[in-house]
Amino acid sequence: MDLAGRKILITGANRGLGAAFVEAALGRRADTIYAAARNPTSLPEFSDPARVIPVRLDVTDQETMVAAANEASDVDLLISNAGLPCYGPIFGDQDETTFRAALEVNVFGPLRLVRAFSGALIRPDTGVILVLSAAAVALSRSAPMYSASKAACLMLALAVREELRGNGTTVTTVLPGFMSTDMAANFDLPKASPMQVAEQSLDGWATGQNTVWPDRFAEVVRDAVGEKYQRMLDEPRATREEMQAAFLGT
């Protein structure tokens, strides 16, 4: 799907999936790509740097968030990709600060992002892609607090979609499985390439999909959770009305 004329901001653009999103958007002829990272000097050399604008943005720092929103006020597609892993059991040796750090990046980071860019997102034909994880709906035993943070962000994404519904804004959640990135380096399992996930995500958003399961592992999780749960992710308003009718006996 062509992105000609689009202005896109991507968080965590310095490596992995974020860098793949930049290249995928370049390949689809996006007009301007704001490549956001805590340290913009860490950005790789992209294939067409003339269309890439480095932006300093730390999702845990409100000041950089506001500055980025002012700099990229013309953005019409916001891709929330920055994330933080959190391994280890709940009843392990981790200090609570480790758990809080995951929530700060994986939940409050996207919250700050969409709030900071709310002025851009209330325009018609704009959008948000929120990169979550299949772990949001299928517990990761090795990283239960990571699952908890992504599950919380999933509910946040549904709320953002609901609040922006009347503005012509498409909000797409992406739930990938294992990818060939630093985060999954220690897992000896089949992995999708970051570019595959980026391409599937952009295709899903461009065609108006609410939820994207971009790889084979994600599809297995999708099939396991069942049709009713998938429908809740896609159309929470409809499922809420169904539950209300069942409760009231109407």
Starting from the edge strand earliest in sequence, which strands make up the sheet with 126-131, in order?
Answer: 52-56, 32-37, 7-10, 77-80, 126-131, 169-174, 211-212
Q: Is residue 212 part of a domain?
A: yes
pLDDT of 111 higher than 60: yes
Q: What ranges in 104-164 are assigned the alpha helix state H?
A: 109-116, 118-121, 144-164
Q: Range with the lowest mean pLDDT among 61-65, 177-181, 212-216?
A: 177-181
Q: Which range marks the domain in which residue 12 is found?
A: 7-248
Query: Where does the pLDDT of residue 13 fall: very low under 50, low under 70, confident under 90, or very high at 90 and above?
Result: very high
Looking at the domain assignment, is residue 176 inside a domain? yes
Does residue 2 belong to any structural domain of this protein? no
User: Per-residue pLDDT for 67 more than 90?
Assistant: yes
Domain-embedded: residue 151: yes
Q: For the chain, percent helix, then strand, then coil, each to nearest 5?
A: 50, 15, 35
Q: What is the pLDDT of residue 236?
A: 73
CA distance 193 to 159: 29
Residue 78 pLDDT greater than 90, yes or no: yes
Q: Which CATH number does the domain housing residue 55 bear?
A: 3.40.50.720
147-175 per-position pLDDT tens digit: 999 999 999 999 999 999 888 899 999 99
186 has pLDDT over 70: no
DSSP 51-92: GEEEEE--TT-HHHHHHHHHHTTT--EEEE-------S-TTS
Does residue 1 lie in a domain region?
A: no
Q: Give the pLDDT of residue 106.
A: 97
Question: Half-sphere exposure (CA, 13 Å, Cβ side) for 82?
Answer: 31
Whether the pLDDT of residue 250 is over 80: the answer is: no
How many structural domains is the chain composed of? Answer: 1
